[in-house]
Structures are given as structure tokens and as C-alpha cells.
Chains A and B, each alone.
Chain A
């Protein structure tokens, strides 16, 4: 599976994303600088990594979501190809309008960096087919602005449509309805605050993120 990882100024999980994808797919992803205007030909899976693009100035992900590469990312997502945004990548995907809602400052105002217990709320997406529905995972989180917000109507809609994919077991940031990750209506764009790429090797302290990348292999 041909993959690509987008690199913004201030991305800091791009290497982790690269290594996780290479490990699972057996093929190193292309690293695509944000000033590019096209993805490498044949790209199937696209990952928008975590970090602090543009120093989180204005709003987290706001500037990155208007960068030169963004129209290509939107076109890729619109074509139905899989796109994963983790942490700052999730913020960038909401800012770009590819995913509903917004990530706000954590309710407790503190940066949270811990292993987060998660449940799989929808095991039937192309990102979660290798997980058992309702299974409990431990995936690391590290963010200051992960407090998922959307109006009640949107929350009801995405819950009803199975777009809520991961929930926190112990809501660390005030997210509405314990939401840790969502997909778009088509199910091909996933945004999540927890870092599955940091849980793919026993040396990471856990491998609960592996099945997410493995699920993609079977679906692309």
C-alpha cells in the first residue's frame, strides 16, 4: 500500500507515523512537505501527523489547514481514499472542514500526557475492522487542545450514524460525550486525539495501535 505523511513546520510525530506505517505496510511512506501541491502518484493512504504546526498560532491547525498541500488532501479525501489525522492532524482535519466539530482547550487547562484507556465505539470502519467492537485499548495521548466540541444536533447526528469511533474511558479533556475519535459520513477520514503510531511496538509500552494500521491494509 502506497502511503504518504504530510509534514508541516512544527509537525513532531511525522517520524513516528513514518515508522508505524513502514512497519505495518512493509513500505516506507513518502514524506510530503506542506508547500507541495500534489501527492505522489498512486498514494492510497494519507496520514496527517501530530505536532504543533505553525506553533498553534491563531487556533490549533488553522494555518496548516490553509496550506498549499491542503487542496490535494481534500481531493484525496473526497475521492474516498483513507485519510488519518492524529492529534494536531485531527485539529487540521476539523479546521479544513473534512470532519465536523472542533478541538478546544482542555477543560482542565493542563497539557495531558498519559496512557488513555479507550473503547472502540465502532468496529466496522475501515480503520477499526481488526478491533473487536467494544474492545478496550490503551493508547497514549499528549495534547493541550483535545476537548472535542460540536453542537448537540451534530453530536446526535454523528452518534446516530456511527461516526464516533473511539471514546475515552476516563475523559481527560472535557470532550463532548467522551469522544476521542470520529470518522466523516463516508467513513474514509478518521480524526483522533490519541496516538496509535506511538503504540505499535512492545518497547512503546503497548501495541494497541497496531490493529488500526492493519485494518487499513485490508481495506485500501
Chain B
């Protein structure tokens, strides 16, 4: 079983790296880019069969370590 966790900055939190990415894309001529936000994708390999139980544990991992609730939100996809 795998969990894919997308960690991203909350709306309203300034993202200087995303702004730099948008700036670089503009320099390359991609003027249609109006904003860029940079996040993280974390993939976990998990033992066990029960996807719901596993997801609850992954949610706990996100709250305790993988995301910082002050600045970040996250979403979990089980596969």
C-alpha cells in the first residue's frame, strides 16, 4: 500500500520560492503564469491491508511531523 501526501503552503502564506519560479517562467516568455506556489510530495510505502486505518495513521503522521500546521496544509491519497 502507498500513501501520497501533498503538502502545500496555506493560502495567505507568502511563498518566496514560488514567486521566484513564476519570475523565471516570465523571463522565459510564459506570460500566462499569474502565480506559482511550491509544495512537497511525500510518498510512503506502508505495510498492512486496511486502507482506512492506514490513512488515519498517515493523517496522524502529517499532523505530528510531515506538515507544519502553522504554515502548511496537506492532502492524502491512498493507492
Q: How large is the interface on A (under 10, 10 to 19, 20 to 34, 35 or more residues)?
A: 20 to 34
A151 to B71, CA, bound (A): 9
Q: Shortest Cβ distance from A21 into chain B, in angstroms?
A: 30
Q: Determine how close the nearest CB of chain B comes to the CB of A101; give it in whole angstroms.
A: 6
**Count: A-B pairs, CB below 8 Å:** 37
B57 smallest CB distance to A (angstroms)? 16
Task: Count chain B residues whose beta carbon lies closer than 8 angstroms to a beta carbon of A.
Answer: 12
Residues of chain A within 8 A of B71, CB atoms compared: 102, 104, 149
B14 within 8 A of A: yes
Q: Which residue of A95, A101, A174 is within 8 Å of B14 (Cβ)?
A: A174
What's the minimum C-beta distance from B52 to chain A, rounded to whole angstroms? 25
Flag B48-74 by CB within 8 Å of A: 1 or 0 each.
000000000000000011101011000
B16 on the interface (CB 8 Å rule)? yes
At the interface, yes or no: B33 with Cβ under 8 Å from chain A? Answer: no
Interface residues of B (CB under 8 A from A): 12-14, 16-17, 20, 64-66, 68, 70-71
